[in-house]
Amino acid sequence: MGSKFGSGDDGVIADINITPFVDIVLVVLIIFMVTTPAMIKQSIKVNLPDAATGEPNPEGTNLGLTLLSDGGMLLDGQPVTVPQLVDAIRAAKAKSKDDVIALIAADKSVAYGRVMWLVDLLRGEGVAKYAWNIDKTQMIGPDPASVGEGTSP
């Protein structure tokens, strides 16, 4: 309801005008909609394997290692060579009082031997704790006893 000028009613307007609030919320929403695609493009695309189980990352000094499908390797999101990785592991072990934990992510297309090479490198440098990054799903894999049924060698 609007007020009438000169009507002689000097009562207080008790209605709350929420139009400015709605305007601010819409502007903030538009800002998020515009900036979100820019943030998504900066991520590293790794096709992680699926698993139905997984645990949260334990506390301590963590090294995020990623093996890419093109043969590259990342340490905490930055490209790294093997000598640089060894230096980073040794520096983390010298700096940390706790155990150093390696968080390993490998694309599905990375050869098993390359993943084992990385684990062997880590263990050779004294990193005994490591975790695997996975895409946690509710999928149930095939029964190992039934795999290969009905096929001839």
* pLDDT digits 0-9 by tens, 111-126: 888 888 888 888 888 8
Please check the confidence at residue 57 and state whether its pLDDT lies above 90. no
Please check the confidence at residue 28 and state whether its pLDDT lies above 50. yes
**Domain chopping of the chain, boundaries:** 50-136
Please check the confidence at residue 52 and state whether its pLDDT lies above 70. no
Global pTM reads 0.53
Nearest-10 Cα torsion for 44, 49, 53, 57: -30
pLDDT on residue 67? 87
- CB–CB of 101/59 below 8 Å? no
Stretch (H or E) spanning 73: strand 73-75
- CATH T-level assignment (fold) for domain 50-136: Nucleotidyltransferase; domain 5 (3.30.420)
